[in-house]
């Protein structure tokens, strides 16, 4: 019995040491994220579940690409001279509060400006994401202009957007139970084998 307990303890150590670093990817379009954002359709949000539990999260990224079309703005002091003004797309979590953003369009106006970025989502801690669950928002943004305003709004068209979470994943508890069951079974079979051998002698 003592050997069985020791074996189970060793399996427990194996279970802990088998926690592995991995990248979990979540395609936002699979969750229903629209591909177009503008002033009239500024945001989309949903709850998600990555289906894994982390002991540690090292980095979180949004890998996205698309095209940004700038808006047109004027200064209150010079309303007859409009100029292109960049717009952006950002993503953030409710808990933990982290965000990433991309801005553009001004340099290529009126043509859209392409972007392809692996943007790190910044947060002070990832403790609220260790269970793999939270709410994500993708949102169209315009600059806050103190001395002017947009007279034409821009837009952002996404080609793709994938959430990437890098961290250490603990194997499922069922794997641990299977390992324990296997070792107990081996011990039982060995004992039966010894009993059989002793009766023959």
Q: What are the start-end ranges of the E strands in the chain? A: 20-27, 36-38, 43-49, 54-69, 71-75, 78-85, 87-93, 99-104, 113-120, 133-142, 148-152, 155-169
Please name every residue paired with 67 in a beta bridge, in sequence order, or none if there are none. 114, 157
**The model's pTM:** 0.76
**135 preceded by a cis bond (ω within 30 of 0):** no
The full set of domain ranges for the chain reads 1-18+171-201, 21-170
pLDDT tops 90 at residue 16: no
Name the pLDDT band for 5 (thresholds 50, 70, 90). Answer: very low
Phi, psi of 144 (to 5 degrees): -85, 115
- Among 2-16, 29-43, 48-62, 99-113, which stretch is predicted with the lowest mean pLDDT? 2-16
Question: Which one of 1.10.287, 3.40.50, 2.60.120, 3.40.1130 gives the CATH number of domain 21-170?
Answer: 2.60.120
* Pair 59, 23: CB distance under 8 Å: no
Q: How confident is the model over 171-194, as a mean pLDDT?
A: 53
What is the spatial distance between Cα 142 and Cα 163, in angstroms, rounded to a whole number? 23
What is the spatial distance between Cα 133 and Cα 49, in angstroms, rounded to a whole number? 5
Q: What angle do CA 177, 182, 185 make, to 5 degrees?
A: 125
* Pair 117, 64: CB distance under 8 Å: yes
Which tens digits make up the pLDDT trace of 54-97?
999 999 999 999 999 999 999 999 999 999 999 999 999 988 88
């Amino acid at each position: 019995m003592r050997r069985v307990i020791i074996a189970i303890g060793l399996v427990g150590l194996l279970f802990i040491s088998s926690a592995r670093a991995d990248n979990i990817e979540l395609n936002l379009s699979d969750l229903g994220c629209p591909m177009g954002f503008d002033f009239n359709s500024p945001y989309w949000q949903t709850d998600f579940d990555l289906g894994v539990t982390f002991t540690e999260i090292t980095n979180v990224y949004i890998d996205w690409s698309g095209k940004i079309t700038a808006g047109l703005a004027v200064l209150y002091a010079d309303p007859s001279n409009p100029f292109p003004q960049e717009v952006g797309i950002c993503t953030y979590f409710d808990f933990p509060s982290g965000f990433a953003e991309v801005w553009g369009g001004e340099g290529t106006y009126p043509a859209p400006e392409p972007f392809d970025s692996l943007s790190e989502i910044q947060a002070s801690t990832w403790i609220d994401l260790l269970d793999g669950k939270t709410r994500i928002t993708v949102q169209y943004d315009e600059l806050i202009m103190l001395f002017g305003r947009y007279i034409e709004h821009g837009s952002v068209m996404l080609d793709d957007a994938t959430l990437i979470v890098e961290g250490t994943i603990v194997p499922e508890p069922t794997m641990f139970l299977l390992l324990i069951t296997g070792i107990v079974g081996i011990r039982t079979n060995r004992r039966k084998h010894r009993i059989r051998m002793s009766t023959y002698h």
